[in-house]
Amino acid sequence: MLSKLRNQDGLAILEMALIMPLILVFLMLIVDAGLLFFNGVSATNAVREGARCAVVGHTETAIQDRVTEASTMGDPTTVTIEAFEEDGTPIPTWTDATVGDDLVVTATYDHPWILPVDTIVDGITTFTRTARMRVEVTSFDDPVC
């Protein structure tokens, strides 16, 4: 009998107003997580493309351009190229690497968040990707491709 005395016409609107912000934040977190995963895969691919460009004899500028072009995230913060002998000993200048040595291309990217997650948790907006490949050319003056 008591329920017939109260008017509950606006209750659904009130419940929706209370729950909708939580649902929207949850959906935005799902989108952010998906973009973070996608950007991580894109960055891995871009670094792999840069390493492939390096091992066939291109210049440092061409390698950096290839890493930037292959990424859907835009410009990387840093791109480094290192060389290692077959036994793992570092080579001072990567252009001194010979056939069989390894070239390592590393790039650092900043992830653009939709929600201000980076203000809540530090250190998750920047990530680094690395690719290692064997040198295939005898000289870095004349690229293969």
Domain assignment present for residue 123? The answer is: yes
Summarised one tens digit per residue, pLDDT across range 26-83 is 998 898 889 888 888 999 999 999 999 888 888 888 888 889 888 887 778 888 888 8
Domain assignment present for residue 14? The answer is: yes
Q: Domain range holding 78?
A: 10-134
Domain assignment present for residue 36? The answer is: yes
Domain assignment present for residue 53? The answer is: yes
- Pairing assessment for the beta strands 78-84 and 126-134 based on DSSP bridges: unpaired
Domain assignment present for residue 59? The answer is: yes
- Nearest Cα neighbor of 49 from 39, 63, 59 is 63
Summarised one tens digit per residue, pLDDT across range 72-100 is 877 788 888 888 888 888 888 888 888 88
Bridge partners, 84 (sequence order) = 90, 102
Domain assignment present for residue 51? The answer is: yes
Domain assignment present for residue 78? The answer is: yes
Domain count, the chain: 1
Q: Which residues contact 92 (CB under 8 A, 6 or more apart)?
A: none
Tell me which residue has tokens 């659904």. 12
Domain assignment present for residue 4? The answer is: no
